[in-house]
Amino acid sequence: MALSREEELEARVRMLEARCATLEKERDHYRGKFKECALERAWIHQTMTNISMPEREKLTLYAMRYESQNKTPRKDGLTHISSSDIAGKYGLSSDAVGKSLKIHNEKGVIDRKLEKESDGKKVTTLNLVALGEVAQKNPRAIDFSVEKKWGGLRKKNKTCEHCGSEELIIHTEIICTQCGAQIKNEWKTIGENNSEENNVSDGIISEEETE
């Protein structure tokens, strides 16, 4: 039995509504995908523009982030990520990956735990990691710079053996043993409250030093 004109229009409307619903779902799906891509691009940009982070550590951090996204973490938040898998996929040696993971852990970039697992025949070490909040949200803020210690280790100031004070005066006097002439007569004030040493040569302090 042929449909009436009105029934044909109603069927057409239902078909269009179903198509619109499908397109809306696809729109929401791709909108979410676009947001994920934008966040991923921003994270990579922040990591690459961190001038204090070595290239190896950048690559290892990206590998850990990417691999952890495709796995389900344990109840403690840690995820099993194989060091050999990172080495094989990202062109690093297993030794380089191990050193990089250790550095990231020492810097507090990641939480890392090594666990032994046995199947009765062999024992395997599991590499369990979780990215810290800074590593996930603001990798550019991770500081890998090393403070340089110019001139080696600084010697501790001498102290008075009677009261423990570090504010002392060093008196240097040089006298000729032949004629008794005074060659040098210098006084130096040292101590934690003195940013610079106050020098007194031949018992005279300049006006600039007394201000």
Bridge partners for 79 per DSSP: 129
Token pair for 13:
């409307």
Six-digit token string for 120: 């009765």
What per-residue confidence (pLDDT) applies to 78?
92
Q: Are 125 and 102 in contact (CB under 8 A)?
A: no
Helix 83-90 vs helix 94-106: crossing angle, to nearest 10:
120
- pLDDT tens for each residue of 154-191: 455 566 666 666 777 887 888 888 887 888 888 887 76
191 C-beta neighbours (distance < 10 Å), count: 15
Q: Tokens standing for 92?
A: 């690093």
Q: What angle do CA 150, 156, 159 make, to 5 degrees?
A: 155
Task: Measure the CA–CA gap between 166 and 157, rounded to whole angstroms.
Answer: 7
Q: Are 186 and 199 in contact (CB under 8 A)?
A: yes
Which fold is adopted by the domain 50-141? Answer: Arc Repressor Mutant, subunit A (1.10.10)
Contact yes or no for 60/135 (Cβ under 8 A): no
Q: For helices 55-69 and 94-106, give the axis angle rounded to 10 degrees.
A: 90
Each residue's pLDDT expressed in tens, for the chain with a length of 211 residues: 666 888 888 888 889 999 999 999 999 988 888 888 898 999 999 999 999 999 999 999 999 998 888 888 889 999 998 888 889 888 899 899 999 999 999 999 999 998 888 888 888 888 899 999 999 889 999 998 865 555 554 455 566 666 666 777 887 888 888 887 888 888 887 765 544 444 444 443 334 444 4
> How do the domains of the chain map onto residue ranges?
50-141, 168-203
- Note if the pTM is more than 0.75: no
Q: Which tokens belong to 15?
A: 């078909």
Tokens at 158, concatenated: 């001498």
Strand order in the sheet with 182-190: 168-175, 182-190, 198-201
CB 115 within 8 A of CB 105: no
Give 135's contacts (C-beta < 8 A, 6+ positions apart): 61, 65, 104, 109, 110, 142
d(CA 160, CA 150) in angstroms, rounded, equals 28
